[in-house]
Amino acid sequence: MQLARVIGDVVVTRKDEQLDGIKLLLLQPLTPEREAAGRPLVAVDAVGAGVGEEVFFVRGKEASFPFHPAMPPVDAGIVGIVDHWDIEK
Amino acid sequence: MQIGKVIGTLVATQKSRKFDGAKLLLVQPLNADETPRGTALLAVDSVGAGVHDRVLVVLEGRSAGEALGKKWAPVDAAIVGIIDRIDFE
């Protein structure tokens, strides 16, 4: 999984019907120092996240697992909202 | 599998239910000479690792789910070993 900040909502009207009712959010992956790490991406939301929150997300088919037995065609999904993290290097 | 160093812990109250009871650790991937490589990632811990440990990490959904021992768990990274040492030939 990777850390990210939610930086936007994505609205898609015409889409695969298995995506109906699933929220799509724009994520900026983060380093533990809260710097941007790579390019933004779109992820489905399985935990009720919103813009401005720090989250963690999973990549790959596993992003669809929170919607089991539905199998929406997705490759990234938010699976947790972060309360806090602590780093000791 | 990848070699990494545990650099931190993360707390998330609101998360996919499959994470209940799982420990989430921040892991910095390492090169063979133990220099950092890429962005730190978040992995579930199945072996009782702690901060500063060098660990073996699987970065694949199915295997990470196996390590967690839950079906349909939306995970893509798991710590599956604590490294004692690496001998180079």
Sign of the torsion angle spanned by Cα atoms A58, A27, B55, B37: positive
Q: For residue A36, what pLDDT is reported?
A: 98
- Token pair 């992820």 is at which residue? A43
Tell me the per-residue pLDDT of A35-70, one tens digit each, with 9 for 90 and over.
999 999 999 999 999 999 999 999 999 999 999 999
**Contact pairs from chain A to chain B, CB under 8 Å:** 97
For residue range A11-30, list pLDDT tens digits in order.
999 999 999 999 999 999 99
Nearest CA distance, A12 vs chain B (angstrom):
24
Q: Residue B46 corresponds to which tokens in the numbers above?
A: 């199945």
Across the interface, do B26 and A60 touch by the CB < 8 Å criterion? no
Whether residue B57 lies inside any domain: the answer is yes
| B50 domain-assigned | yes
Contact B72 A38 (CB under 8 A): no
Residue B65: domain span: 2-82
B87 belongs to a structural domain: no
- Which residues from chain B sit within 8 angstroms of residue A85, using beta carbons? 8-11, 26
A33 touches chain B (CB under 8 A): no
The answer, as to whether pTM is greater than 0.90, is yes
For residue B59, give the nearest of B83, B41, B77 by alpha carbon.
B77
Residue of B5, B6, B7, B10 to mutate for A, most A C-beta atoms under 10 A: B10
- The pLDDT tens digits for A61-73 are 999 999 999 999 9
Inside any domain, residue B11:
yes
Q: Is residue B89 part of a domain?
A: no
User: What residues are paired with B56 via a beta bridge?
Assistant: B3, B81
Residue of B41, B72, B76 for testing the chain A interface, max A β-carbons within 10 Å: B76
- Distance in angstroms (rounded) separating the CA atoms of residues A62 and B20: 17
Confirm whether the ipTM is greater than 0.90.
yes
* Tally of domains in chain B: 1
| C-beta atoms of B42 and A31 within 8 A | no
Residue numbers in chain B where pLDDT is lower than 50: none
Chain B residues near residue A47 by CB distance under 8 angstroms = 14-16
pLDDT at residue A18, rounded to an integer: 95
Domain of B44, CATH number, reads 2.40.50.220
Contact residues for B49 (Cβ-Cβ < 8 A; gap 6+): B6, B25, B55, B79, B82
> What pLDDT is recorded for position A89?
74
- The residue length of chain B stands at 89
Question: Does residue B39 belong to any structural domain of this protein?
Answer: yes
Q: Which domains does chain A have, with CATH numbers?
A: 2-81 (2.40.50.220)
Decide: B29 and B36 in contact? Cβ < 8 Å. Answer: yes
Residue B38 CA to residue B41 CA, distance in Å, equals 9
If one counts every other C-beta atom within 10 angstroms of the C-beta of residue B77, the result is: 25
Q: Determine the pLDDT at residue A9.
A: 97
Residue B88 covered by a domain: no
